Amino acid sequence: MNEWQGRVAVITGAASGFGLETSRIAAARGMKLVMADLQAEALEAAAAELTARGAEVLPFRLDVSKAAEVEALAAATFARFGTPHFVFNNAGVGAGGLIWEQSAKDWEWVLGVNLMGVAHGVRVFVPAMLAAAQADPGYRGHVVNTASMAGLVNMPNMGVYNVSKHAVVALSETLYQDLSLVAERVQAHVLCPFFVPTGIHQSGRHRPAELAADGRPTRSQLVAQALMEKAVTGGKVTAADVAAAVFDAMDSGRFYIFSHPQTLGSVRQRLDDLASGRNPSDAFADRPQVGEQLRAALRGRG
């Protein structure tokens, strides 16, 4: 039995990457789709693709960092399809560099999208989902928030991104606990992917003009951008693999969703450091050549 048939999905960042692949699975399972994204042309193409496959699709151009726009997304969703059963707070951007070199605009942009986009999604949709669960014993709801492995460890030269994703993990874990106090049929999940070929390394192209970077990028920011591009484009796990893992986690009731569970050793190391009162371990202890290359690049020797 397909329990997703006829249900409603709201997906941000739906025009590419995890959002698009999750939309494709949702459409294949017979869901009605609200696809939201900042990229108007890409969103139009993605919506057209899934409409051609027979899905009911509401495309919605959206800047998730803007509270009023997310509220408008919710209003449009309720008007067209009613209360959603699956909300994927997925839109995100990538940025790096030494943490003291991040400008106020860097912080506002990254936290606005990565953190406040999730917070707005939770704020506008969860109350309606709880009301639906109370009114209908057959209702089941899921909220999936996209964080990152960067929300569980702290790699150097990625401070602003790390902070945003740690906050999403904290928000999601708290949401899970809060929901357990008041509901049984609305569940929270957090997605923590590692490096997967998506367009996140190109997210700067869509940075709003009012939050444009101040001046030329620093050496550390250029280094971070180059490393991110290399790591993301070289990933072997696909966005489609991650989307499948999202549905598997919802089907099985699993909270944490990992694209690369083999990388959890670094999370254990961090927790061991915390529990033992040790200083943070060398992030490159198992890859000393990578650490030396990064130090050389940042000090102008690379």
79: which residues sit within 8 A by CB, 6+ positions away? none
Tokens of 110: 């990254």
On average, the pLDDT of the chain sits at 93
Residue ranges in 53-187 assigned as alpha helix (H): 67-80, 104-111, 117-135, 159-182
- Cα 100 to Cα 116: distance, rounded to the nearest angstrom: 22
DSSP 146-157: E--GGGTS--TT
What is the set of active-site residues? 161
* CB burial of residue 260 (10 Å; 0-12, 13-18, 19+): middle
Q: What is the residue extent of each domain of the chain?
A: 8-298
Cβ atoms < 10 Å from Cβ of 221: 20
Which pLDDT belongs to residue 201? 65
Query: Looking at the DSSP assignment, which residues form a beta bridge with residue 8?
Result: 32
Task: Tell me the pTM.
Answer: 0.93
pLDDT digits (tens, 9 = 90+) for 281-299: 998 888 888 888 888 889 8
Share of the chain above pLDDT 70, in %: 97
What is the CATH architecture assignment of 8-298?
A: 3-Layer(aba) Sandwich (3.40)
Tokens of 171: 């928000």
Cα 205 from chain centroid (whole Å): 18
* Mean pLDDT, residues 234-243 taken together: 89
Pair 193, 242: CB distance under 8 Å: yes
